[in-house]
Amino acid sequence: MAFQKAVKGTILVGGGALASILGLSQFAHYRRKQVNLAYVEAAECVSEPVNREPPSREAQLLTLQNMSEFDILVIGGGATGCGCALDAVTRGLKTALVERDDFSSGTSSRSTKLIHGGVRYLQKAIMNLDIEQYRMVKEALHERANLLEIAPHLSAPLPIMLPIYKWWQLPYYWVGIKLYDLVAGSNCLKSSYVLSKSRALEHFPMLQKDKLVGAIVYYDGQHNDARMNLAIALTAARYGAATANYMEVVSLLKKTDPDTGKERVSGARCKDVLTGQEFDVRAKCVINATGPFTDTVRKMDDKNATAICQPSAGVHIVMPGYYSPESMGLLDPATSDGRVIFFLPWQKMTIAGTTDTPTDVTHHPIPSEEDINFILNEVRNYLSCDVEVRRGDVLAAWSGIRPLVTDPKSADTHDSGLITIAGGKWTTYRSMAEDTINAAIKAHNLKAGPSRTVGLFLQGGRDWSPTLYIRLVQDYGLESEVAQHLAATYGDKAFEVAKMASVTGKRWPIVGVRLVSEFPYIEVGWELV
């Protein structure tokens, strides 16, 4: 795969009170001691985090400033960057992670919300007899199962309907979907099945009836992408990684290798965006996991570096919930221009969107009116004429930029030891991170064991259960909908949020003052003790 290849020279692998009590200098000494102990414990045992709760951002900044040298410094707080930090720290490596904005503020929070193996890739693998495509699907299906296991509060299986309008397509797609189940093997979420025309309309009554032959339903995973990203970052912090958002890398540090006489990347000059303070973070290995800004960091290393990424935009719109059933999505495998469109239920709304349109890299990509109208037109093709698809029904829209690798074999004159991870997708973030840290260990002779992130629960996932929300209702007097929201967002940490919920002053609910009546988001209050 593209993100596992080596480009010559550059290795290309496809969040207080304690400070005010102790005083700043004492606190800095305490944190240095705590950090060193944390890394020792992390190296000895990965079964329990070294911190019950992630340290505050202030404490993390002190760690970044006072650590003489990290083993790994990751630039970029998206899914892959946070995955790299978690993989590294759970191997016992001294790990730092910096992100210029909020964690998951970029592409990782602007996805289709699916954890999928890639039905399209399997089709290409079969049609072209492409073993690499097949292996990619196989790996993604394994990673899909793992992600559903380690973050059950943030993810769940979702049935997706493929409507059939031509008789010959029914056996064609049926064989393809069944092969998808077969490749998944023991990781198959649920077996796919065929629906007659009448049964398809029962499940999806707003479908266009004319010429409808039937439908095929298969299963993939759906998740809360932004919360998932944050859970990975929080988990890395709990295991001892020094993580800080709003930390911009302004330049890369270099030093001369005494053996070769060549300059090697040895850290980064970082700027606290909130205060303007700058300081150096030194590391044996620096990992560039900046997504669409991959080439920007590579050019910090070498201004003559050849661009290796082609930015591609994925545009999605949010529409009212009545545009789709509450618990079933829809896939249009062949739009008017050959792209794929998903039509998915999401938090009582409907997400419709597509991917892979060439674009320019910007910090805040905005979907064009042309993209929005394209999606609306494709939606009209699949919905009954009784349903008027209106531009005014678009409640929100977003655009995410994917960093697709153009040519992994392109020549590059770097020889600085900078590790770059680019390409890939949400489903395979963990395996990509594992490959990246493996490459870092090999390239920089770091002492670490194998990856330990398969089956490692993310923040909030270990003690979650589907009935956890009932305890929130019974123990704290929350509305059922609010309790479900807290359980699905924070997992087993929902009780800590419920303890901070504002009292309503009513007989019921007892706590949980809604910010907006239509949504389950609530006020919280707390005291400093």
Over the stretch 143-175, which tens digit does the pLDDT of each residue have? 999 999 999 999 999 999 999 999 998 998 899
| Cβ partners under 8 Å of residue 525, min gap 6 | 500, 502
CA distance 218 to 402: 26
CA distance 10 to 515: 49
pLDDT of residue 404: 82
pTM: 0.89
CB 274 within 8 A of CB 258: no
First to last CA, the chain: 52
pLDDT tens readout for residues 245-261? 999 999 999 998 887 88
pLDDT of residue 44: 42
CA atoms 99, 100, 101, 104: torsion sign: negative
pLDDT of residue 6: 36
State yes or no: pLDDT of 9 exceeds 50: no
> Within 13 A of 305's CA, how many CA atoms are on the CB side?
22
408 pLDDT band, cuts 50/70/90, is: low
CA distance 455 to 263: 39
Task: Tell me the residue ranges of DSSP E strands in 246-308.
Answer: 247-256, 263-272, 278-288
Question: Taking Cα atoms as reference points, which of 84, 74, 75, 77 lies closest to residue 105?
Answer: 77
38 pLDDT band, cuts 50/70/90, is: very low
CA distance 319 to 315: 13
CB 341 within 8 A of CB 375: yes
Across the chain, mean pLDDT equals 86
* 410 or 85, which is more confident: 85
Is the bond into 509 cis (omega within 30 degrees of 0)? yes
> Within 13 A of 378's CA, how many CA atoms are on the CB side?
25
Buried b or exposed e, range 104-138, using 16+ CB within 10 angstroms: bbbbbbbbbbbbbbbbebbbbbeeeeeeebbebbb
pLDDT of residue 453: 97
CA distance 207 to 330: 10
CA distance 156 to 476: 26
Q: Which residue has the tokens 């790996």?
A: 139
326 pLDDT band, cuts 50/70/90, is: confident
pLDDT of residue 310: 85
pLDDT of residue 254: 94
CA atoms 173, 179, 184, 189: torsion sign: positive
pLDDT tens readout for residues 356-369? 777 888 888 889 89
